[in-house]
A = this chain, B = another copy of it.
Amino acid sequence: MSSAGRARFGLSHRPKPRLAPRRVGILGGSFNPAHAGHLDISRTALRKLGLDEVWWLVSPQNPLKSVSGMAPLAERLRAWQELTGKSIQLFVGDVTDYDFLASTIKTFEPDAVIHFAEQRAAPYSMIDRKHAVFTQVNNVVGTLNLLFALREHCPDCHLVKLGTMGEYGTPNIDIEEGYIKIEHNGRKDVLPFPKQPGSFYHLSKVHDSHNMMFACKIWKLRATDLNQGVVYGTTTDETLLDEALINRFDYDEVFGTVLNRFCAQAAVGHPLTVYGQGGQTRGFLDIRDTVRCVELACVHPAEAGECRVFNQFTEQFSVLEIAELVKAAGNKLGLDVEIDRIQDPRVESEQHYYNAKHSRLLDLGLKPRYLSDSLLDSLMDIAIRYRDRIDVSMFLPQVDWRKASNERRTVGEVTSSLVARV
A: residues with CB less than 8 A from B are 98, 129, 132-133, 136-137, 140-141, 144-145, 148, 151-152, 171-174, 180, 182-185, 187-189, 191-200, 203, 206-207, 210-211, 213-214, 217-219, 347, 353, 401-402, 404-405
A194-B197 contact given A133-B141, A174-B187, A203-B211, CB 8 Å threshold: no
Using Cβ atoms and an 8 Å threshold, which residues of chain B touch A188? 172-173
Bound together, the chains give a CA A16 to CA B403 distance in angstroms of 32
Decide yes or no: A197 and B210 within 8 Å by CB, A152-B405, A402-B219, A404-B151 being known contacts: yes
**Contact, CB under 8 Å: B218 / A191:** no
A149 to chain B, nearest CB (A): 9
Q: From A185, which residue of chain B is reached at the shortest CB distance? A: B174
Sampled A-B contacts (7; CB under 8 Å)? A98-B129, A140-B140, A172-B187, A173-B182, A173-B183, A173-B184, A219-B404
Q: Are B98 and A140 in contact (CB under 8 A)?
A: no
The CA-CA distance from A402 to B214 in the complex, in Å, is 11
Which chain B residue lies CB-closest to A132?
Answer: B144
Contact, CB under 8 Å: A171 / B191: yes
Chain B contacts of A171 at CB under 8 A?
189, 191
Q: How far is the CA of A199 from the CA of B210 in the complex (A)?
A: 11
Ranked nearest first, the 7 interchain pairs of A and B with the lowest CB-CB distance are A191-B194, A172-B189, A129-B148, A218-B347, A173-B184, A151-B404, A207-B207
Known pairs A192-B194, A207-B210; A133 contacts B144 (CB<8 A): yes
Q: Closest Cβ of chain B: how far from A262's Cβ, in Å?
A: 25
Q: When A140-B136, A171-B191, A194-B194 are in contact, do A402 and B148 touch as well, CB less than 8 Å?
A: no
**Are A401's CB and B210's CB within 8 A?**
no
Instruction: Check if B129 sits within 8 Å of A145, measured CB to CB.
Output: yes
Contacts of A174 in B (CB 8 A): 184-185, 187
Looking at the assembled complex, report how far the CB atom of A366 sits from the nearest CB atom of chain B, in whole angstroms.
23
- In the assembled complex, the Cα of A26 lies from the Cα of B187 at a distance in Å of 42
Q: Which residues of B contact A213 (CB under 8 A)?
A: 196
Measured in the bound complex, the distance between the Cα atoms of B181 and A172 in whole Å is 11
A219 contact set on B, CB distance < 8 A: 402, 404
> In the complex, how many angstroms separate the beta carbon of A353 from the nearest chain B beta carbon?
7
A217 to B353, CA, bound (A): 19
| Residues B214 and A203 in contact, CB atoms below 8 Å apart | yes
Q: Which chain B positions have C-beta within 8 A of A194?
A: 180, 182, 191-194
- CA gap between A184 and B195 in the complex, in Å: 15
A51 to chain B, nearest CB (A): 26
Q: Please tell me which one of the listed residues B98, B140, B173, B180 contacts residue A207 in the complex, with CB atoms under 8 A apart.
A: B140
A180, closest chain B residue (CB): B184
Q: A148-B129, A207-B207 are in contact. Are A218 and B402 (CB under 8 A)?
A: yes
> CA of A206 to CA of B140 in the docked complex: distance in angstroms?
13
Q: Shortest beta-carbon distance, A212 to chain B, in Å?
A: 10
Selected from B193, B199, B218, the residue in CB contact (under 8 A) with A401 is B218
Report chain B residues within 8 Å CB of A196. 191-192, 213
